[in-house]
């Protein structure tokens, strides 16, 4: 897979790409669950505005470890 972050010459491009892929996976699982953002927030132990950031793809708001944790809480085995 092409790393757009490396193409842009950004520092830590591999980390950014990994986080982007994890965030994309979390977003897909949230949308596929068809749960409200409130219910997803409860499942993840976060606020609804944080769920909104996940769904909208706010990369800077989440670390890779946090995204991996959310994936596991959503039933994805990492």
Digit-coded pLDDT (tens) for 14-47: 999 999 999 999 999 999 999 999 999 999 999 9
> 4-73: what CATH class?
mainly alpha
How far are the Cα atoms of 7, 15, 16, 34 from residue 19, in angstroms, in the given order? 16, 6, 5, 23
Domain locations along the chain: 4-73
What pLDDT score was predicted for residue 1? 79
pTM of model > 0.85: yes
Nearest to 25, CA basis, from 41, 66, 10: 66
What pLDDT score was predicted for residue 25? 94
């Amino acid at each position: 897979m092409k790393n757009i972050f490396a193409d842009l010459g950004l520092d830590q491009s591999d980390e950014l790409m990994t986080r982007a892929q994890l965030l994309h996976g979390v977003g897909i699982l949230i949308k596929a669950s068809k749960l409200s953002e409130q219910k997803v927030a409860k499942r993840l132990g976060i606020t609804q505005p944080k769920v909104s950031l996940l769904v909208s793809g706010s990369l800077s708001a989440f670390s890779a470890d946090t995204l991996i944790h959310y994936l596991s809480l959503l039933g994805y085995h990492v």
